[in-house]
Structures are given as structure tokens and as C-alpha cells.
């Protein structure tokens, strides 16, 4: 990997560890100071709305003024918001802070992925996406594990402050990467103009967005509430919750790093199709398992398999697009992702309040994952007509 890519991934890892520690503890902190599932679901939903709206704005600004500049601004803003959310845990304040923290959080991810496209060639792009995504998942392993134990032994609030300050300090690593080339003369209309897309590119984008919306809704019903689910279903301590989530992250991290090789060996379409289908029965089974060890195992497999497809899918789709439209496509995709998750987050509190609520939750989620599987099959039809799969993986299957 190039020096620029190495420095970018190092920043990604350090900041992701800090965020993972914060994330595993924050909902438990809210529960500890008296907020219920309904409120936690509401602010999670507001985070998603902020992600959808601010994500597109930041993506456009990144194309016009440079991705490094916007990455620095959003990362600093996100770190300060993390501190503010602990300092002022008041309902009305948390509503507002959640909107902006959600927007800045997703903008960081969007800019990172777009920057990787800028500084890599086709031959190494798959490895770059897989390695970066794997390290981010790996940081979750460490963050969940450490965050759970820190929360239990030094207190939830103290842990949150340490994680937030560590995140702010990680921003200094951005000084090691150069600025990407922006184009201040491009108008908003030009940025979103897809009139020059081929019919196949339009088909790819259409089903990419539909698949994103469907899977994001299914994931939004439970993924953001993993710590609460383990607490409610099995009364786990923060340390045990951290371990359970770390196991899931470890599988995803390992799989993501290996995903370019697996995609090349089995064919990117067969690889993604198999993993996308097998997660459906895994999600259904989560609604009927009462043993915490079996549940953790199934949860880890589902999390790992689904996240193992992300580097391959994102690499293929974004590499199929004109380079000057990558951030735009990624921004819209992120917007759909978080709008869908926002609606699902509201539904979480409503569904789990029902008798056997978690069973219904996972059954509903599985339906949307299956729809996402069907959209994947349609998305690959125009992709397989072109040469991009051979260029990226040497395999069109």
C-alpha cells in the first residue's frame, strides 16, 4: 500500500477504536440515568436523519473543497459532539446533538471511502477496501471488549469521556495525508447530474439504492441496539456485552480482510449471493434462541457474513461509476441507508414493547434482508455485462 493509504487507514483505525468504545457504552449510560427504550430509539432515529441530510451536504462539499479538509472538520465536530452528549444528558439537548453527531459520523465514513477511490488503482482497490473495512471491524473488537470492561470497572460516564477525548486526539493523524483535488467551479446541478450515465450504470445504481434501503431497514431494527438486546434478553453485564459484540466484530474483521481473496476465488457474485442468502435464516433463528451462548454465536455469524460482503459490493459498484460521481453516489447511498435506519429505529421501541417483541423484531428484519438479496441478483445483471469484475477480481461469476 502507498504511504498515503497507510496513513489514512491508521487514522481510520485509531478513531474507530475510540468510537467503538464510546458506542458500546453510550446506550447503557442513557439507560443507567433513567432513559427508556423509546427515547433511545428516538435519538438513534434522529442520528440517522442527521446522517441522511448532513451526509449529502458534506459529500458535495468534499468534492468541491477537498476531502481532507472536510474530513478534518467533520471529525473534529464529531469529537466535540461526543463530549457534549455526556456533559449535557438532557432530553431536549440530546435530540439536537444527536442530529449533528449522526451527520458528522457518517460524513467521516463517506469521505474515507471516497478518498480511497481517489488514491488507488483498480488492481489494489479491492485490497484497500477490504483492509480498511477489516481494520474498522477489528477496531470494533478491541473497542467493544475494552469499552465493556472500562464501563463496568471505572464507570460508564468516565469511559465515555476517555473515548471522546481519544477520538479528538486522533484527528492529528490527518496531517500526514495530502489534500485531494477539489473542483470549486462545479455547480450542485453538475455534481448530481447523471444524464451521461449509460443505461447499465443507471440500472446498477437503481438496484444498489433499493438493496441499500431494504437491508438498512432490516439492520436498523436491531443492529444499533445490540447492547440493549443482550441486556434485555439475557441480563448481561457491560463487560459481557462488550465480549459478545467483540466476537461478532472479530468475525467481520477477519472476513473483510479476506474478502478480496474470497471474492476472487469463488467469484464476486457467487460470494456475495451466498453470504446474503445465508444471513436470512440466521436472523430468523435469533428470535427463537434462549441460550446466550448460542445467541451470541448466531449473532456473530450474521454480523460477520453480512459485513464481509460490504467491501466487495462497494468496490464493484463505485468502480463501475465515473470517478467524478463516486462521492455523489456514495452520498445518496448513505442518505438512503440512514433514512431507512431512522424509520426502523423508531419501530424498535414499538416492536420490543409487544409480547415476544424480539421474536417479531427479528422476523420482520429477515424479510427485508431477503428483499435485499433479490435486489442483489438484479444489480449484478448489468454489472456482469461489463469488464469491471474481470478488472477487479479476474472473475465474472
What does 347-358 look like in DSSP terms, one character per residue?
A: HHHHHHTSTTHH
122 contacts 392 by C-beta, under 8 angstroms? yes
351 contacts 221 by C-beta, under 8 angstroms? yes
Q: Structural domains in the chain?
A: 3-175+204-392 (1.20.1250.20)
Using pLDDT thresholds of 50, 70 and 90, give the confidence band for residue 134: confident
Q: What is the CA radius of gyration of the chain?
A: 20
For residue 182, pLDDT beyond 70: no
Q: pLDDT at position 178, please?
A: 72
Report the alpha-carbon distance of residue 140 to residue 134 in Å, rounded: 10
Dihedral sign for Cα 168, 254, 220, 89, please: negative
Query: Mean pLDDT across the stretch 146-150?
Result: 84
Using pLDDT thresholds of 50, 70 and 90, give the confidence band for residue 176: confident
Query: Mean pLDDT across the stretch 315-320?
Result: 84
Residue 279: which region, alpha, beta or left (left: phi > 0; alpha: psi -120 to 50)?
A: alpha
From 134-143, 166-175, 187-196, 375-384, the region with the lowest mean pLDDT: 187-196
Q: pLDDT at position 251, please?
A: 78
Using pLDDT thresholds of 50, 70 and 90, give the confidence band for residue 189: low
What share of the chain has pLDDT > 70, as a percent?
A: 93
211 contacts 266 by C-beta, under 8 angstroms? no
Query: Mean pLDDT across the stretch 61-87?
Result: 86
What share of the chain has pLDDT > 90, as a percent?
A: 23
For residue 22, pLDDT beyond 70: yes
| Cα-Cα end-to-end distance for the chain | 27
For residue 101, pLDDT beyond 80: yes
Query: Mean pLDDT across the stretch 268-278?
Result: 92
As a whole number, the mean pLDDT across the chain is: 84
Report the alpha-carbon distance of residue 76 to residue 84 in Å, rounded: 12
Residue partners of 299: CB distance under 8 A and separation at least 6: 226, 244, 248, 286
For residue 70, pLDDT beyond 90: no
Q: pLDDT at position 132, please?
A: 74
CB atoms < 10 A from the CB of 181, how many? 9
Report the alpha-carbon distance of residue 318 to residue 316 in Å, rounded: 6
Compare 66 and 180 and report the one with higher pLDDT.
Answer: 66
Q: pLDDT at position 123, please?
A: 67
- Give the 3-state secondary structure of 124-179: HHHHHHHHHHHHHHHHHHHHHHHHHHHHHHCCHHHHHHHHHHHHHHHHHHHHHCCC
From 11-15, 171-175, 184-188, 231-235, the region with the lowest mean pLDDT: 184-188
Q: pLDDT at position 164, please?
A: 92
Q: pLDDT at position 397, please?
A: 64
The length of the chain in residues reads: 397
Query: Mean pLDDT across the stretch 126-131?
Result: 72
342 contacts 213 by C-beta, under 8 angstroms? no
- Reported pTM: 0.75
Report the alpha-carbon distance of residue 20 to residue 82 in Å, rounded: 12
385 contacts 200 by C-beta, under 8 angstroms? yes
Q: Provide the greatest CA pair distance for the chain.
A: 59
Query: Mean pLDDT across the stretch 319-344?
Result: 80
Residue partners of 256: CB distance under 8 A and separation at least 6: 130, 133, 134, 136, 137, 307, 308, 310, 311
For residue 171, pLDDT beyond 60: yes
For residue 313, pLDDT beyond 90: no
For residue 183, pLDDT beyond 60: no
Q: pLDDT at position 163, please?
A: 92
For residue 98, pLDDT beyond 60: yes
- What one-character-per-residue DSSP string does 174-223 give? GGGSPPPPP-TT--HHHHH--TTS-HHHHHHHHHHHHHHHHHHHHHHTTG
205 contacts 362 by C-beta, under 8 angstroms? no
For residue 347, pLDDT beyond 70: yes
Query: Mean pLDDT across the stretch 75-81?
Result: 91
Q: pLDDT at position 295, please?
A: 92
Report the alpha-carbon distance of residue 227 to residue 244 in Å, rounded: 9
CA distance to 170, 221, 314, 388, per residue, from 45 (Å) = 27, 11, 24, 36
Count of alpha carbons within 13 angstroms of residue 189, beta-carbon side: 0
From 21-35, 148-162, 309-323, the region with the lowest mean pLDDT: 309-323
For residue 256, pLDDT beyond 80: no
Q: pLDDT at position 374, please?
A: 96
Report the alpha-carbon distance of residue 26 to residue 72 in Å, rounded: 24
Amino acid at each position: 500500500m502507498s504511504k498515503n493509504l497507510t496513513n489514512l487507514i491508521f487514522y481510520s483505525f485509531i478513531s474507530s477504536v475510540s468510537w467503538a468504545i464510546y458506542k458500546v457504552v453510550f446506550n447503557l449510560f442513557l439507560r443507567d440515568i433513567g432513559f427508556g427504550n423509546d427515547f433511545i430509539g428516538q435519538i438513534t432515529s434522529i442520528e440517522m436523519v442527521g446522517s441522511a441530510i448532513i451526509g449529502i451536504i458534506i459529500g458535495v462539499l468534499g468534492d468541491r473543497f477537498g476531502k481532507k479538509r472536510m474530513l478534518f472538520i467533520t471529525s473534529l465536530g464529531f469529537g466535540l459532539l461526543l463530549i457534549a452528549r455526556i456533559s449535557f444528558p438532557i432530553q431536549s439537548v440530546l435530540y439536537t446533538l444527536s442530529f449533528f453527531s449522526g451527520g458528522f459520523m457518517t460524513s467521516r465514513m463517506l469521505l474515507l471511502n471516497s478518498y480511497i477511490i481517489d488514491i488507488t488503482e483498480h488492481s489494489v482497490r479491492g485490497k484497500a477496501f477490504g483492509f480498511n473495512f477489516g481494520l474498522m471491524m477489528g477496531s470494533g473488537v478491541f473497542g467493544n471488549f475494552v469499552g465493556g470492561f472500562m464501563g463496568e470497572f471505572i464507570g460508564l460516564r468516565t469511559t465515555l469521556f476517555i473515548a471522546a477525548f481519544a477520538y479528538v486526539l486522533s484527528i492529528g493523524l490527518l496531517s500526514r495525508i495530502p489534500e485531494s483535488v477539489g473542483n470549486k467551479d462545479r455547480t450542485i446541478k453538475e455534481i448530481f447530474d447523471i444524464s451521461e450515465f449509460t443505461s447499465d450504470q443507471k440500472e446498477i445504481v437503481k438496484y444498489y439504492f433499493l438493496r441499500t434501503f431494504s437491508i438498512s431497514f432490516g439492520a436498523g431494527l436491531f443492529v444499533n441496539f445490540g447492547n440493549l438486546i443482550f441486556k434485555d434478553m439475557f441480563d448481561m453485564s457491560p463487560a459481557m456485552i462488550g465480549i459478545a459484540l467483540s466476537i461478532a466484530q472479530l468475525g467481520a474483521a477477519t472476513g473483510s480482510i479476506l474478502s478480496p481473496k474470497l471474492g476472487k476465488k469463488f467469484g464476486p457474485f457467487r460470494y456475495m449471493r451466498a453470504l446474503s442468502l445465508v444471513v436470512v435464516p440466521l436472523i430468523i433463528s435469533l428470535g427463537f434462541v434462549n441460550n446466550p451462548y448460542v445467541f451470541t454465536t448466531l449473532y456473530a455469524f450474521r454480523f460477520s457474513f453480512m459485513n464481509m460482503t460490504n467491501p466487495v459490493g462497494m468496490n464493484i459498484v463505485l468502480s463501475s461509476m465515473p470517478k467524478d460521481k463516486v462521492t455523489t453516489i456514495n452520498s445518496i447511498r448513505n442518505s438512503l441507508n440512514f433514512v431507512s435506519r431512522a424509520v426502523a429505529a423508531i419501530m424498535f421501541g414499538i416492536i420490543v414493547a409487544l409480547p415476544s417483541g424480539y421474536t417479531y423484531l427479528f422476523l420482520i428484519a429477515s424479510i427485508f434482508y431477503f428483499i435485499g438479496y433479490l435486489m442483489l441478483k438484479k444489480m449484478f445483471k448489468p454489472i456482469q455485462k461489463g469488464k469491471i469484475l474481470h478488472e477487479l477480481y479476474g472473475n465474472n461469476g
